[in-house]
Amino acid sequence: MLSIEQSGKIMGTTIRGVDLSKPVSDRDFGKILATFGQYTVVRFPNQPLTPAQHIAFTERFGEIHALPDYSEPGHPGVNILSNIVENGRNIGNVDAGMIWHKDMTYVPVAGFATILHALKIPHRDGRPLGGTQFINVQAATDDLPADVTQKLNGAIGLHSVAKYNAVVRAAGSKRANYTDIPDDRKRPIRAHPMLLAHPVTGKTVLYCDPSHVERIEGLDDADSEHLLQFLADHQLQAKYQYIFDWSEGDVLMWDNFGALHRATLDYGPDEPRLLKRCQAMSEKVGDPAFVKAALEAASTA
């Protein structure tokens, strides 16, 4: 039986009583989806998952987007995040997610649930390192001034891989594909509404990633830049921030509509960290019939 423990902070909850290595019942999936929509960041502790089991759980939420670099052998849908070096090379992405962002905004069907599995977590002086920081975008949206909300109604944000790469290089990333963009990442700018209805809750949420949104369509450059800076400053206020400290065996999932996130790179090369990542896209959850059926199953006996 599922138990749900709120973090007591601006966001986040822990779900116990489910074994993600086994197929999740429709009833439990519906409860997980409802909790996910409400709390944005959900932890499942003590989960011994294989890559295939990780994929199977992620696919309940949507089609998996496979990334081209640092994938699990035989499982291209599982991406490796790690500072571990074997045979002279890193086994995973060393500095992924070091700036505030949402995952997969630069594709036509945006990212929904990012699901990470922690295998090795560094510690120093008895405390875990490499925590993941979050912004509660839903709360920030609810607090927007009325005149700003009015400006954003019907507005379109233009999301750019090139902008993200420039921002992450400026932050100190050394990854080659942030300097020389491979052909498969030279995508056109993607247009998404600045305000959209959250696919699970139906609430209006700001979809403006400060690391991807290059400009707001229809505004001149100065007005677009000014509004984007206001939205970045507003979202990144301390009152909306939450940090998750990892334990080995944790599965953590977050909602890319309701949150921004970034990694905390506070550990050294001699402090091993290893997580595996799957990304569910939003096409499935964008179907109201899918969400309705899942939430109705949660209430069955």
Q: What's the average pLDDT block by block, 10 residues per block, for the chain (301 residues)? A: 94 97 97 97 97 97 89 93 92 86 89 98 96 97 97 94 81 60 58 96 96 91 95 98 97 97 93 97 97 93 56
pLDDT digits (tens, 9 = 90+) for 100-156: 999 989 888 899 999 999 999 999 999 999 999 999 999 999 999 999 999 999 999
Domain ranges of the chain: 3-297
* 141 Rama sector, left if φ>0, alpha if ψ -120 to 50, beta otherwise: alpha
> What whole-number distance in Å separates Cα of residue 298 and Cα of residue 208?
31
Q: How many CA atoms lie within 13 A of 99 on its CB side?
A: 17
Q: Percentage of the chain with pLDDT > 70?
A: 95
Q: In the sheet that 132-136 helps form, which strands lie side by side, from edge to edge?
A: 241-244, 132-136, 259-263
> What whole-number distance in Å separates Cα of residue 223 and Cα of residue 207?
18
- DSSP lists the bridge partners of residue 89 as 86
Please name the residue ranges forming H helices in 40-160: 51-59, 137-142, 146-152
3-297 CATH fold: Double-stranded beta-helix (3.60.130)
Reading the block at residue 101, the tokens are 């962002």
